[in-house]
Structure 1
Amino acid sequence: MTIRNWFKFAFRALIIGGVVTGLMSLIVRWGDFYAQHFSNGEWGEAFLGLLWFVLLGFTMSMVCQMGYFAYLTVHQIGVNICRSLTLWNWVQILLMFVALLDVILFRFKPYAHSASDWLLYIGLLIVLIAAAIVTAMKKVKMTGKKHILISALFFMIFVSIIEWLIALWVRTSGGNEYITLLLFPILAVNAFQLLELPKYNAKSAEDLKKREERRAARRELEEKNNKNAKHK
């Protein structure tokens, strides 16, 4: 990928993370944060709070971008170690189940003190799995390659959970709010990366081809000028 296209790709991912986190903060934190500032006419405090959430989204976007490129490396290593895409797919399925069980048993269960807590946690897992399935199916449809379904699901579930641990470890006041808030930018940025990176790679290949054609044309022109100069 060329530097220009990588910058465009990273910038779009950054904006998606910031916008999604900012919008979700208006929903998740309205009752305990925004409402009191708006009712008191504290517009500056409300705006600064929104800005802080947008910056938090930028941070999560950068975490997701590092996670994606790390996943691309791990995926290639996994295929080489397993010596078979089928075996690597089974390993990915096992890791997905382990990650989901870890979230349920060690991240949610110790802190689920009421039915409302369980409803929230189950709802978030449904959102995670549903987003992963929709994104993976769209990836298969875009590429026409059915064998990448498991890899896409693995990235959207396993890698997203790893990135989500930043929020899952927060168990101070407002822990559930941040667990809810940060899941959505993670899913949005990861879905964007999974679906859009091939387009940027294709554009980079096209740009490199045009660059080589321009260089060849310049070399041809220089050679022609040199020949004319010698004849003179």
Structure 2
Amino acid sequence: MTSRSWVYLFISTLLLGGISTIFVGFAVEWGRYSTLFLEFDVIEIISVAFWFLGVGFIFSLISQAGYFAYLTVHRFGLGIFKSLWGSVQILLTIFVLFDFVYLRYQAFAKPGDPLLPYVVPALLILLYGLVVAYFKVKQTNQAAFIPALFFMVAVSIIEWVPALRANEQNWLLLMIFPLLICNTWQLFILYKLNQASKRGSAK
């Protein structure tokens, strides 16, 4: 892939993370910032939006670091495990999902708290990962399903760890949506950029 494509991938993902965080931030913190819109306090709205933008840039950088780390691990995995790499990714995804539920329940649940509130987020992320993996297969081929699922589920949860440690609902929501958006974008756009680079080099 050309350096121009890498720059486009970086900047587009950065902007996507920042802008999405502005919308998610105001939605999550609507009870706190709704009066700004009711009073049409433009200066304050812009200042809060810039703060969310900066936070979104950080989320985007985490997403990009996670994606490129995954690409590296994926190459090593193919070289070490070869045809078994798909099975290894499935096992790792199950392991991450189990830890996501179990460790959070052990760390934050009070005696007698139900397990369901800790299971539901894991199921939702898994469902979203399955949907993304399905469309990734449509874009490329059947072999892309497991890597896409592993990235969208296991890697997204690992990237989410800073907010998971805080276990504050608003921060959990504020971080996970931009992460998923950025991860989804990178997963699909990199293939298109690679195809464009191949067509360019073939001319």
Provide the TM-score with structure 1 as the length reference: 0.78
Quick one: distance in 1 between partners of 2:6 and 2:191? 12
C-alpha distance in structure 2 between counterparts of 1:107 and 1:24, whole Å? 23
* CA 2–11 in structure 1, closer or farther in 2 if over 3 Å, else same: same
**Residue 96 (1) aligns with residue 89 (2):** no
Please state how far the C-alpha of 1:23 moved relative to its aligned partner. Answer: 0.7
Q: Secondary structure at the match of 1:169?
A: helix
Q: What is the CA–CA distance in structure 2 between the aligned matches of 1:200 and 1:193, rounded to whole Å?
A: 10
Change (3 A) 1:47 1:125: farther
* Offset, 1:207: 3.4
2:200 is matched by which residue type in structure 1? D
C-alpha deviation, 1:46, in angstroms: 3.4
The runs of 5 or more residues in structure 1 that have no matched partner are 211-232
State which of 149, 152, 170 in structure 1 corresponds to 2:148. 152
Aligned to 1:141: 138
Q: Which amino acid counterpart does residue 166 of structure 1 have in structure 2? A: P
| Aligned-partner Cα distance in 1 for 2:177–2:113 | 23
Q: Which residue of 2 aligns with 1:23?
A: 23
Query: CA-to-partner distance for each residue in 1:169-210, whole Å, 9 max, x for gaps?
Result: 124xxx111111111111111111111101111222333445
Once residues 204 and 131 of structure 1 are traced to their aligned partners in structure 2, the CA distance between those partners, rounded to angstroms, is: 29
Aligned to 1:222: none
Partner residue in 2 for 1:205: 198
| Distance in 1 (alpha carbons) for counterparts of 2:98 and 2:115 | 17
Secondary structure, aligned partner of 2:166: coil
Q: Which has the larger radius of gyration?
A: 1
Task: Give the CA deviation at 1:165.
Answer: 0.5
Q: Report deviation, 1:109.
A: 4.9
Pair 1:162-2:161 in alignment = no
Matched, 1:188 2:188: no
**C-alpha distance in 2 between matches for 1:50 and 1:200:** 30
CA contact (8 A) 2:26 2:33 kept: yes
2-structure distance, mates of 1:76, 1:206: 23
**Does 1:76 pair with 2:75?**
yes
- Taking only aligned residues, the RMSD between alpha carbons, in angstroms, comes to 2.3
Return the alpha-carbon distance in structure 1 between the equivalents of residues 114 and 45 of structure 2: 28
Letter in 2 for 1:193: Q
- Is the contact between residue 128 and residue 187 of structure 1 (CA under 8 Å) also seen in structure 2? no
